[in-house]
Structure 1
Amino acid sequence: MAKRWSPNVLTATRLVLGVASITATVNSYWLVAAGFVFLAALYDNWANRLARRLNTTAEFARDIDMLSDLLVFGLAPATLYFFAQFSENGLTGYLLALVYPAACAFRLARYTVAGAKVYYPSDPLPVAGPALSGLALVGSMLPTTVHVMIIILASVLVIANVRVPRLW
Structure 2
Amino acid sequence: MEILKIITISDLVTILNLTFGLLAIYFNEPNFIYIAVIFDALDGYVARKTKTVTEFGKELDSLSDIVSFGVATSYFLAKVSIFIAIIYCIAGSLRLARFNIVNSKDFIGLPIPAGSLFIIASLQLFKNPHIIIFLSLLVSYLMVSDIKFKKVRDLRVGLLVFISIILAILNHPEPIFIIILLYIGYSLYRRE
TM normalised by structure 2 equals 0.70
The match for 2:125 is 138
After TM superposition, which residue ranges in structure 1, 4 or more long, deviate above 4 angstroms?
A: 1-4
The match for 1:99 is 87
Runs of 5+ consecutive residues of structure 1 not aligned to the other structure: 26-32, 87-92
1:43 deviates by: 0.8
The match for 2:113 is 126
Runs of 5+ consecutive residues of structure 2 not aligned to the other structure: 159-192
| One-letter amino acid of the structure 2 residue matched with residue 5 of structure 1 | T
Q: In the TM superposition, what are the counterparts of 1:81-120 in structure 2 within 5 Å?
A: 81-83=77-79, 86=80, 93-114=81-102, 116=103, 118-120=104-106
User: 1:48-95 deviations in whole A, cap 9, x for unaligned?
Assistant: 111111111211111110001111111111111222xx2xxxxxx221
User: Does 1:18 pair with 2:3?
Assistant: no
Q: Is the 8 A contact 2:69 2:112 kept in 1?
A: yes
How much is the aligned-residue C-alpha RMSD, in angstroms?
Answer: 2.3
Which whole-Å CA distance do the structure 2 matches of 1:147 and 1:164 have between them?
25
Q: Is the 8 A contact 1:7 1:51 kept in 2?
A: yes
Q: Is the 8 A contact 2:95 2:111 kept in 1?
A: no
| One-letter amino acid of the structure 2 residue matched with residue 35 of structure 1 | N
The match for 2:75 is 79
The structure whose RCO (Cα within 8 Å, separation 6+) is larger is 1
1:110 deviates by: 1.3
The match for 1:90 is none
Specify whether residues 121 and 158 from structure 1 end up closer, same or farther in structure 2 by C-alpha distance, changes over 3 A only: closer
TM normalised by structure 1 equals 0.79
Q: Which has the higher helix share?
A: 1
